[in-house]
Structure 1
Amino acid sequence: MATNPEFIQVNPLFARPGEVTLAPRYQLGEDQMAPDTAYQIVHDEIKLDGNSRLNLATFVGTWMDDHARRLYAESFDKNMIDKDEYPQTAAIEDYCWHIVADLWHAPEPRSTIGTSTIGSSEACMLGGLAFKRRWQHARRAAGLSTEKPNLVMSSAVQVCWEKFCNYWDVEARLVPVTDEHPCLDGHDLADYVDENTIGVVAIMGVTYTGIYEPVQEIAAALDEIQARTGLDVPIHVDGASGGMVAPFLQPDLVWDFRLERVHSISTSAHKYGLVYPGLGWVVWRSRDLLPEDMVFEVSYLGGNMPTLALNFSRPGAQVLLQYYLFLRLGFDGFRKVQQASQDVAMYLSKGIGANDAFTLVSDGSDIPVFAWQLTAGHTDKWNLHHLSDRLRARGWLVPAYPMPDNLADRTVQRIVVRNGLSLDLASRLLTAITEETDYLDRLEAPMPAEKHHSGFAH
């Protein structure tokens, strides 16, 4: 029987070369692979990841609409730093940080300075560097030593601040959180501030609990310190989450550039800025607060242009996505989206708080994030790590982790509500938590001790 040449090249799916052997993991294969085979291998492997919509550990956005996805696909080849080749992308970056400066009540939003970054960590690094440089310049001008700078912050800061201090030789002065003072609130601040303090970091949305640090009270404490000692210490507000929540949900809360002592603010656009990762923004109250020697002029990309960032080449697509959202949602749209997330957070925290097994640590009334702990004396058979593992088996990632420093003996569990977690889906989560808690409460012997996944994410 003659072989039909039309079928000689037919390779049944999952029986083609490359799909009937193990794919190379740690070195290049000897031969090429068909693109659809390579695609299928990667596609199948990431199926082992969790469902991002059910990941309640991360603050990072996991959903955008179809128009945003189309815009993303049209612009993922744009290099943000190449402002000569992509001048309109550069102009849109300019629009965005000016919009953010206005949102944060900069005295003159059109004449201040800011930039996009790869995320809020880079934005924080730039804010910290500006503090250090300004302190160094002032000390040198006064003929004083520039050794041993320090930065004051809560022990509950995001790890990027500890990285900043480590990488740039700055002493991290961590004010411990306690039951009485669960965040940096100005209490005992004078014990940590001295002539070598380059600044104080205030957090709008503590990673562990979601609560706001009272920036106005911190500023008032620093005003008192200046009145007594003459030390003029600035504030950087880490608004990674709250910077894009407070303007819409708590517009009367004074935390931003309405406070003269606030020199710079950063936010993570890929959190409550609602953009896919990674994008951040940092803005200074006024142009003079950013040392000129932090801005570089580059000319080899086709034109002479300033650059202010730690990264050089970085995606431009996310900047365009941010502008798309600014256009599409406007102030009222952002308010509605953030309010919907907070409504879900309050619904969940109310349901969890009504369970005798749990005691709320926060309720989601600041950013849409809340945490709880096991009620004292409720059980000696299981802990929150066991509940986290039970929920993970059902597809939900709800982290359990210890609090920092003085509260390190306390384990909490946390839910981050983001755009995309509907009230109906949240009701399924609440049912799962109730059912798994009931299962654990029926145990007649303690769960075995083992290493648990914390699932803790920023």
Structure 2
Amino acid sequence: MLSRHIDPDEIIETCKEHPHRKHASRDGRQGHVQSWRRDEDASAAAYQLLHDETALDGNPLLNLASFQEADKLIMENMNKNLVGDLWHAPKEGKVIGTATAGSSEAIMLGGLAMKKRWQEGRKAAGKDYFHPNIVFGSNAQVALEKFARYFDVETRLVPVKESNGFVMDPNDAIQYVDENTIGIIVIFGSTYTGHFEDVALMSKLLDDLQQRTGLDIPIHVDGASGAFIAPFAYPQLKWDFKVPRVVSINTSGHKFGLTYAGLGWVLWRDESYLHKDLVFELHYLGSVEYTFTLNFSKPAAPVIAQMFNFLNLGFDGYRKIAWKDLRNARMLSKALESTYFTVLSHPSNNAKGKNQHENNDDPEHYMAGVPVVAFRLNDKYKEENPSVQQQWIATMLRTKGWIIPNYNAPQGAEDVEILRVVVRETLSEDLMERLIIDILGVTEALAGPNHAFSGDAGQPKGITHPDHDHARPVKDNFDGLGEALEQLGFSSQC
């Protein structure tokens, strides 16, 4: 739902001129290479500004027009304009967007807009409009498949290849397009490996297709992870509204947007791409408002939290966090790559210029992607330890408190197993060092014939099973009689 009576640029300028902002100068901040802490005085200023602005909207207890808080409407519109600038929405158009319940709802809205626009064009041409399809890679998050199934759109999954980083190759995707294709979703930050799919190449191939066939196929960018990383880490990369064929973009506020879970955003480059059938007018809130979300009632807190981050951190703050996360991801990749693993994302040997920039902190000198490290056991380790299952590493790390998934690669490379670490702001360099030590420790503990998972049928030893007798303490270890048995388990002895 969008409010049209707030000037977001004026609000931002007010924030810049706020008396507390004098404490948040760039000179007072640390450089990119150091660990960066958020400015507490800037946080106070951002809080006060949002507190004052929402207070002026009226006391929610006295708002008898709606169950919703009016400040949510304000924040949605402010964010729309700000992110429109961040993603280079054309100035001549009228960018439009809304907050959503995560990227899943945002994907639904982006897909629905493309479907409605395709249907309208088919009806006008007197052609069949009952068999729409949509194209995206098999590495897609389940929300994309949900859209297709929920809204009766045929899914055309493009198999991925290990040689292409387990993401969709635009050259493969173009073969799935026909006159019933409502659009192509390009995944900008793969859930599996963190890689970016090539938006610019996809657009070029679709331009060529239009010249040959007349088919005008739009692109929706699923930037759930990458849309809050690329503007700050890879400003030269062409993926957003700078690519004319990109009509809509979604992102998650609760991933690298740094808010709590449950917030997403979707933007269209111009109102003309948001079909009128999706927009509803509301008249009972005291003024005319517009809604085009699947969920009407949503909490305002995550939206305000997003604005707090925008005001508090600003562009430089988000950039420093992105650089820090990517630096830590490269650190983890380098450590794993030199031991028992093959790294599938952020590999150190893929730096541009073959490591000549190894000490350079600028992400643009490295392979583009989000701070996700995907890796698997290398061939040498597997040859020396053929009985070891990679999933055991995830299980053993769980006993140390780490939750690191192990899963199969997408359709097209299903035989490859992947371990994955998402590097967030909270994963400090100290925690990163501990993680590396724990990963290497459990991997080494599995090597050789007498590892923790050896034995009958490969059953793990030392795992507690409260419902089984073998989970009880061994009496001989506690009664002081006889020789103590060797301790079994995943934790190292102190």
For the aligned pair, the TM-score class normalised by the smaller chain equals 0.7 to 0.9
Contact 2:69–2:300 (8 Å) recurs in 1: no
Aligned to 1:402: 408
**2:442 is the alignment partner of 1:436:** yes
Listed as ranges, the matches of 1:233-252 within 5 Å are: 233-252=217-236
Which of 187, 190, 209 is the matching residue for 1:203?
187
Match for 2:427: what amino acid?
L
Aligned to 1:280: 264
Aligned to 2:343: 360
Aligned to 2:9: none
CA distance in structure 2 between the aligned counterparts of 1:83 and 1:271, rounded to whole angstroms: 30
The structure-2 alpha-carbon separation of the partners of 1:450 and 1:228, relative to structure 1 and needing over 3 Å to count, comes to farther
Contact 1:369–1:414 (8 Å) recurs in 2: yes
Match for 2:255: what amino acid?
K
* Bigger share in helix: 2
Contact 1:64–1:275 (8 Å) recurs in 2: no
CA distance in structure 1 between the aligned counterparts of 2:176 and 2:143, rounded to whole angstroms: 20
Deviates more, 1:307-316 or 1:110-119: 110-119
Q: Give the paired residue count.
A: 384
Contact 2:160–2:169 (8 Å) recurs in 1: no
CA distance in structure 2 between the aligned counterparts of 1:231 and 1:405, rounded to whole angstroms: 28
CA distance in structure 2 between the aligned counterparts of 1:415 and 1:178, rounded to whole angstroms: 21
Deviates more, 1:403-412 or 1:248-257: 403-412
Contact 2:94–2:269 (8 Å) recurs in 1: no
Match for 2:379: what amino acid?
A
Which of 233, 240, 246 is the matching residue for 1:256?
240
CA distance in structure 2 between the aligned counterparts of 1:264 and 1:337, rounded to whole angstroms: 26
Which of 306, 309, 312 is the matching residue for 2:293?
309
Q: Percent identical across equivalent pairs?
A: 44
Contact 1:84–1:301 (8 Å) recurs in 2: no
**2:381 is the alignment partner of 1:381:** no
**2:276 is the alignment partner of 1:270:** no
User: How far 1:298 moved relative to its partner?
Assistant: 2.1
Contact 2:93–2:270 (8 Å) recurs in 1: no
Aligned to 1:26: none
Post-superposition Cα deviations, 1:144-178, rounded to whole Å, max 9, x if no partner, equal 11121000000000100000011001011011001
CA distance in structure 1 between the aligned counterparts of 2:148 and 2:132, rounded to whole angstroms: 9
Aligned to 1:168: 151
Match for 1:308: what amino acid?
F
**2:197 is the alignment partner of 1:194:** no
Aligned to 2:27: none
CA distance in structure 1 between the aligned counterparts of 2:427 and 2:150, rounded to whole angstroms: 37
CA distance in structure 2 between the aligned counterparts of 1:412 and 1:205, rounded to whole angstroms: 16
**2:142 is the alignment partner of 1:159:** yes
The structure-2 alpha-carbon separation of the partners of 1:404 and 1:226, relative to structure 1 and needing over 3 Å to count, comes to same
Listed as ranges, the matches of 1:24-423 within 5 Å are: 86-108=69-91, 111-181=94-164, 182-355=166-339, 357-363=340-346, 365=367, 366-378=369-381, 379-423=385-429
Match for 2:370: what amino acid?
I
Deviates more, 1:241-250 or 1:110-119: 110-119
Aligned to 1:23: none
The structure-2 alpha-carbon separation of the partners of 1:358 and 1:137, relative to structure 1 and needing over 3 Å to count, comes to same
Deviates more, 1:370-379 or 1:153-162: 370-379
Post-superposition Cα deviations, 1:381-436, rounded to whole Å, max 9, x if no partner, equal 21221000110000001110001112111101000011111001110111111111
CA distance in structure 2 between the aligned counterparts of 1:64 and 1:85, rounded to whole angstroms: 32
What's the TM-score, normalizing by structure 2? 0.73
The structure-2 alpha-carbon separation of the partners of 1:64 and 1:330, relative to structure 1 and needing over 3 Å to count, comes to closer
User: How far 1:239 moved relative to its partner?
Assistant: 0.3
Q: Which structure 2 segments of 5+ residues have no match?
A: 1-37, 348-366, 461-494
CA distance in structure 2 between the aligned counterparts of 1:111 and 1:261, rounded to whole angstroms: 16
User: How far 1:343 moved relative to its partner?
Assistant: 1.1
Q: After TM superposition, what 4+ stretches of structure 1 lie above 4 angstroms from structure 2? A: 63-72, 82-85, 445-451
User: How far 1:363 moved relative to its partner?
Assistant: 1.6
User: How far 1:136 moved relative to its partner?
Assistant: 0.4
Contact 1:399–1:413 (8 Å) recurs in 2: yes
CA distance in structure 1 between the aligned counterparts of 2:66 and 2:39, rounded to whole angstroms: 26
Aligned to 2:483: none
What's the TM-score, normalizing by structure 1? 0.79
**2:432 is the alignment partner of 1:426:** yes
Contact 1:108–1:286 (8 Å) recurs in 2: no
Task: Find the residue that maps to 2:171 and give its secondary structure.
Answer: coil
The structure-2 alpha-carbon separation of the partners of 1:211 and 1:85, relative to structure 1 and needing over 3 Å to count, comes to closer
Aligned to 1:60: none
CA distance in structure 1 between the aligned counterparts of 2:417 and 2:319, rounded to whole angstroms: 33
Match for 1:390: what amino acid?
M
Contact 1:209–1:370 (8 Å) recurs in 2: yes
Contact 2:200–2:238 (8 Å) recurs in 1: yes
Contact 1:204–1:213 (8 Å) recurs in 2: yes
User: How far 1:191 moved relative to its partner?
Assistant: 1.8
Match for 1:317: what amino acid?
A
CA distance in structure 2 between the aligned counterparts of 1:327 and 1:419, rounded to whole angstroms: 18
Contact 1:184–1:213 (8 Å) recurs in 2: yes
The structure-2 alpha-carbon separation of the partners of 1:401 and 1:128, relative to structure 1 and needing over 3 Å to count, comes to same
Relative contact order (C-alpha < 8 Å, sep 6+): which is higher?
1
User: How far 1:300 moved relative to its partner?
Assistant: 3.6
Contact 2:328–2:432 (8 Å) recurs in 1: yes
